[in-house]
Chains A and B, each alone.
Chain A
Amino acid sequence: MRFLDALAARLARSDMLQALTLLLAVLLVVLAFSWPGGNALVNEAWFSLAPIRHALLALAAAAFGASLAPATAGAGVAWRHEARVTLAALLVWALVTLPFEVIAHAASYPAVSLAWGLLTAPLTVVAYYGLGALLARGARALRAAWALPLLVPGSLVLLAWVDLQLGATLLNPWTAPLDPSPAYLAVMGGGAILTAMGLTLERRPRRAEPA
């Protein structure tokens, strides 16, 4: 099965399709409500839409990453393939939601370049996907997998709080599109590289100790 077919099949599965529908609906509502109507001339739509898009993409990536984390250290080839395809599907989400941001950006004319959003959205998705997987592995090690539905959004809130305390944009996907920051790029780039390594490098299972 070609990767493209696998990707299309993954996107068409009900969990992803429903989540994508929800994401598009939210973005549509946000854009419609923030778009100037009547006699208003000032367009601030991008300032509402871009943070929501980035935050929802990060949340979805972390959630799917947590749901697909391997139960054991030596995960099988099938899991690895599934994880890669799911990550690629999430990157397609970033693309499918791009026109919303492009249109809002064009009409709002913020000082932030559109290229910043184009760059950070996929990095955020990959990095938060890895964060979700890490959270799931940790929760399972602590036999607290039941808490994952709380841990995933909680971790995003925690990271946003850390950013607020530091007074910088390092980890928070909500403020990242509004405040171009090389530090955020570095952190998300690092996270994306670690995630990619985790998905590509084979880890050998431990040999059994001789009796």
Chain B
Amino acid sequence: MCSSARCLALLWALLASTVALGQAPSARFSLGVAGQPVADAWNPLRLELRDAPPATLTLQIDQGTLRSGELPLTVSHAVRGGAGISVFETTVYLPRFARLAWRLATPDRVLASGSVEGREADARPLDLLLSNLPGSYRAAYATAYGPGARLADVVASDLPSEPAAYDGVRTLLIDGSAAAPRLESVAAAAAGGATVVLLGPLPPSHAELELLLAGGAHARLGAGAVVASGAGPETALTAAAALATPARDTLLAALLEEPLVAPPTPAKQSLVALALAAFALLALLLVRWAGAPGLVGVLALVALVSVVGWRALRPATPQLERDLTLALAGDGLALEVRAREVLTLPRSALSYGGRARPLRPQPYRVDDAGTHLTLERWRAAMLELAPRLADAPLLWDGEALRNVGREPVRDLVRVGAGPLGDLAPGASAPTPTEAGDWPRYAALLPLLPDGTVVGRSACDDVCTVWVLYPPAAVDAAAGAGEAPPARAATPLLTAPSPFVQTGLSSQGGAPAASLQDAGRAE
């Protein structure tokens, strides 16, 4: 027992410490949809702060391997913070990493930090389950996609509304048993490349999701598709698997088999040597025999040779750049992935606004201003800008094609049927041309399913290659039912690090940790 004064003092101290703890700033860091990041894909990053001052969030990712050594990727963003809860969201490209560390810090102190080991990196695509009974779908997924499916239980609020955030998502199953998601999030998932499975019958709260189906049971939207089925999860997932398309990375790599920019062709060695030898000989002769006028002539000759040589041999710009956009279109929406090749002649520090990532591993930095990397002399880098949505000019109008855009779509090819020609704005019948396939299609066409239409537009400056998959109903009816291959590793990457494990890992018998880290105030 304690005396009343001592008890009061103890109680006061307890209350004061509780209040103090409650007021300490806290941060909750989450990478990946529902804290399940997919390596070699764009992932959503979310940071929830409580009572935190303005600070800087920094991610240090070592994407190196034993062979390459450390290849740092640094992502840093200013986070506003403030009283109460504030949320910071962005999308980052997560390569296979050896180690990932994050830190939220002000100039004076570190507010929160955490780290994840490389063995947590998992490149398998996610299958999201928005259901109160997620465990009941494991067998159906194993049937449709094989035993290696990576299922993740999510709630509606876990779903991002940016299409790029679904880069690593293969399917999103909604059975109506959980709270309804926002239509924008589901549309973003489909347009971003995931197959959305609406397992019916859905309750009235989910009715707006049927808008995505445009009255049918299957629909393509952007790079993905929406499937509705009331015939049980196996049938629905088999139909979804039949709609699977080749991985975006694979298609982009096929388009980029040939470099986009070519280095300047050097002048012939013999020509340069002969020209300078002639100059030297003439200068010596003038100096030896022509006296003062000869000396003036030599100076004029120096100026002439220098100016002509400079103008003839100097490339117009220190950097050569060219873009190529791959647009995966469906139902008027397209997921655009822009690749940019830059070749720098002098060593340069390059900066690009927005989010981008080099296709081959190399050190780079991302911040609020954009993406920054340094290239050595005469080196090229291929960058992939974060996927984004755009209007698609190519549409299926029944079995016919229609160009609803403002520009003509050229060099149309239907896989399995051959060249179609050009399609003028507003037209629904291509005009045959004598030109054959565009050379860049050569590696792309064999990867696409029969019936897919490929075309290109605006190749003067930025070339866009449109890929329009056959209507979903046609594909689903074909119903191959074969499990598509798991998401292929980026063909442009080198061998994976021995430190990186693609399977779920656990530490000390504990279940595998998600990449959700509740940082403690330090």
Contact = CB atoms under 8 A, between A and B. Distances in A.
Interface string B286-302: 01111110111011001
Given A7-B295, A106-B314, A111-B377, 8 more contacts: A28-B280, A31-B272, A32-B273, A42-B378, A92-B295, A98-B306, A103-B310, A110-B346
Contacts of A24: 280, 283-284
B314 A109 contact: yes
B16 interface: no
Query: How would you classify the secondary structure of chain B's contact residues: helix, strand, loop or mixed?
Result: helix
Given A17-B284, A21-B284, A11 B295 contact: yes
Interface size on B, as a range, is 35 or more
Contacts of B347: 111
A12 B291 contact: yes
B205 interface: no
Contacts of B291: 5, 8-9, 12
Contacts of A40: 266
Contact of B276 (A12, A20, A21, A103): A103
A35 interface: yes
Given A8-B291, A41-B265, A110-B377, A28 B302 contact: no
Contacts of A4: 292, 295-296
18 contacts: A5-B291, A7-B295, A17-B284, A24-B284, A28-B273, A32-B272, A41-B378, A44-B377, A95-B299, A99-B279, A99-B305, A100-B276, A102-B305, A103-B309, A106-B310, A106-B312, A109-B318, A109-B377
Contacts of A36: 266, 269
Contacts of A7: 292, 295
Contacts of A207: none
A111 B346 contact: yes
B302 A98 contact: yes
B263 interface: yes
Nearest to B299: A95
A107 interface: yes
A96 interface: yes
**Which 4 pairs of residues, A with B, have the shortest CB-CB distance?**
A109-B345, A111-B346, A106-B314, A103-B309
B133 to A, nearest CB: 61
Contacts of B269: 32, 35-37
Contacts of A99: 276, 279, 302, 305-306, 309
Given A11-B295, A17-B288, A99-B302, A35 B318 contact: no
B474 interface: no
A2 interface: yes
A31 B377 CA distance: 19
A35 B309 contact: no
Given A41-B265, A41-B378, A28 B292 contact: no
A102 B306 contact: yes
A48 interface: no
A43 interface: yes
A37 to B, nearest CB: 4
Interface of B: 263-267, 269, 272-273, 276-277, 279-280, 283-284, 287-292, 294-296, 298-299, 302, 305-306, 309-310, 312-315, 318, 345-348, 377-378
A8 B348 contact: no
A103 B280 CA distance: 14
Interface residues of A, number: 37
B287 A35 contact: no
A5 B293 CA distance: 9
Contacts of B296: 4
B273 A107 contact: no
Contacts of A5: 291-292
Nearest to B294: A8
A31 B266 CA distance: 13
A100 B279 CA distance: 10
B313 A20 contact: no
A103 B287 CA distance: 22
B45 to A, nearest CB: 35
Contact of B277 (A11, A28, A92, A111): A28
A103 B347 CA distance: 19
Contact of B346 (A9, A17, A25, A109): A109
Contacts of A21: 284
A41 B263 contact: yes
Nearest to B277: A28
A2 B289 CA distance: 18
A42 B345 CA distance: 9
B280 A11 contact: no
B292 A8 contact: yes
A96 B314 contact: no
B43 to A, nearest CB: 36
Nearest to A35: B269
B287 A106 contact: no
A172 B265 CA distance: 34
A7 B299 CA distance: 13
Contacts of A9: 291
Nearest to A38: B269
Contacts of B267: 107
Contacts of B348: 111
Contact of B266 (A2, A8, A17, A43): A43
B302 A41 contact: no
A16 B277 CA distance: 19
Contacts of A8: 287, 290-292, 294-295
A12 B288 CA distance: 5
Contact of A35 (B266, B280, B310, B345): B266
Contact of A31 (B273, B295, B305): B273
A9 B292 CA distance: 8
A28 B377 contact: no
Nearest to B276: A28
Contacts of B346: 109-111
B302 A2 contact: no
A100 B273 CA distance: 10
Interface in A91-132: 92, 95-96, 98-100, 102-103, 106-107, 109-111
A35 B283 CA distance: 22
Interface in A1-60: 2, 4-5, 7-9, 11-12, 17, 20-21, 24-25, 28, 31-32, 35-37, 40-44
Given A12-B287, A98-B302, A103 B272 contact: yes
Contact of A107 (B266, B302, B318): B266
